[in-house]
Structures are given as C-alpha cells and as structure tokens.
C-alpha cells in the first residue's frame, strides 16, 4: 500500500461531517482530540476504510500560517502511521469517519506529533473494537 493521503481519504461531505460530530464517540490523546463513528453504508465500495478530517482551532492559533503548518504536520504524521491501522480495519471489515482535532496550546515538534499519532491510531483500534464489535 502506498503512503499517500488522497482526496478519497479526506472527509468533505457536510452531511457525513454533521453525522460524525452528532453521533460520534471521542477521546483525547494530548495534543489530539479524536472523534470517530462508523461510516454509514453506501452503494459504492470504499477504496479506503477511513475518511478523516483534520482541524486546528482558530481560537488557539490566531495566525493562519500557524494553523496551516500544524495541519500539514498532522497530515504527514497520519500519512506515515496509517498503514497498520488500515490493515486492522480491513481485517475487521470496519469503515470509519474520523476527525483529528489539535487541542494543544503550542506547536509540538514533528517527532513528538508522530509518536502521539501512533498512540492515537492504536487507541482508535481499541475504541472501534469496543464500540462496534462488542
């Protein structure tokens, strides 16, 4: 599997985003808050088992350049760590909608963000099994 982050992996549908935040479960692994829910069944088979959205609070980071830099680092850390997570979801035939929100007060170094993203994805595996499998 290629380590890319394509348009199909991004959550763009307003209807799906609303359902994610209205019906989703959440947890925090500092500096991330993660909201997730099971993806509603659609007609077409999804190529990717996860669609996600990445956001950074305008209240905490006033300058757009700061928010964009953090989002870029979050996307990169997700892209590098997602392959095992995708395999897990395919094995358990799960499809998720996920929102990664940055709740930290200051920008963390990229290495630390990567380690935390790894932790987030492991916790997401655990939480999805707990919530949707039994």
123-133 pLDDT, tens digit each: 999 999 888 77
Domain ranges of the chain: 7-132
Cβ atoms within 10 Å of 41's Cβ, excluding its own: 7
pTM: 0.93
E strands of the chain, at which residues?
A: 25-29, 32-38, 50-56, 96-102
How do residues 19-73 score in pLDDT, each as one tens digit?
A: 999 999 999 999 999 999 998 776 556 678 999 999 999 999 999 999 999 999 9
Neighbours of 102 (CB within 10 A): 22
- pLDDT for 133: 75
Determine the pLDDT at residue 36: 97
Distance from chain centroid for Cα 27:
12
CATH code assigned to 7-132 = 3.30.230.10
For residues 61-88, average pLDDT: 96
């Amino acid at each position: 599997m290629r380590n890319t982050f394509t348009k199909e992996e991004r959550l763009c549908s307003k209807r799906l985003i609303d359902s994610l935040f209205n019906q989703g479960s959440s947890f925090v692994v500092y500096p991330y808050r993660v909201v997730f829910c099971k993806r509603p069944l659609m007609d077409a088979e999804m190529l990717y088992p996860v669609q996600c959205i990445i956001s950074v609070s305008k209240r905490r980071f006033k300058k757009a350049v700061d928010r964009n830099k953090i989002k870029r680092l979050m996307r990169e850390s997700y892209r590098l760590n997602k392959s095992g997570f995708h395999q897990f979801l395919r094995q358990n035939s799960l499809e998720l909608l996920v929102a990664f929100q940055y709740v930290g007060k200051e920008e963390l170094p990229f290495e630390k963000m990567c380690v935390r993203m790894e932790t987030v994805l492991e916790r997401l595996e655990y939480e999805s099994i707990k919530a949707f499998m039994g």
